[in-house]
Amino acid sequence: MIIENSGLNGLKSELGYLDEAAEKAGFFRGQWEYTRATYDLKIEDSQSDDVYYLRVNTRAIEGKLENPHAVLIIEDVYIGLSTFPHGLDYETPIPKHVMDVANKGIQALYSALS
C-alpha cells in the first residue's frame, strides 16, 4: 500500500546524512544499487506474529551511492506484509495499530530531514 501524504516525498538529502537520520528513526538501508536505495522500518505485530515493512524509496539525483555526498530524493513510501521466503505483499490490509507505528516512523524520519 502506497502511503499518500507522508510528507517525505520529494525531500532531498545527502546519502551520509540520510543513512544517519534513517538509523536514528529506526530504519535500515535495505536494497541498494548505484542510483537507488530503500530504507526499511521493520514492524512486528505482536497480536498476529506478522511482520510488516515500511519502505522508503530513494533515487540518486547527484552522484552514486558509493559516495556519502551523493544527493538522494525520496520517492514513494509504502508498507507491506512480509511473506516467506522473501518479499512484501502490498495488497493485504494493514491493521490500525501497525499503521500507528508506521506513522510514528514516518514522523521521526520527516523531523530528522526537515
Q: Nearest to residue 56, comparing CAs of 72, 37, 43?
A: 37
- Kindly list the domain boundaries of the chain, sorted by start residue: 12-113
Is the domain covering 12-113 a CATH 3.30.310.100 domain? yes
pLDDT confidence of residue 26: 96
Look at residue 105 in the predicted model and tell me its pLDDT: 97
Radius of gyration of the chain (CA): 14
Q: Per-residue confidence of the chain (114 residues) as pLDDT tens digits? A: 899 899 999 999 999 999 999 999 999 998 888 899 999 999 999 999 999 999 999 999 999 888 999 999 999 999 999 998 778 899 999 999 999 999 999 999 999 998
Backbone angles phi, psi at 56, to 5 degrees: -115, 115
What's the rounded Cα separation, in Å, for the pair 93 and 100?
Answer: 14
The label of the residue with cell 520529494 reads 10
pTM of the model: 0.91
**Residue among 2, 43, 28 nearest 109 (CA):** 28
Residue 30: its pLDDT value, please? 84
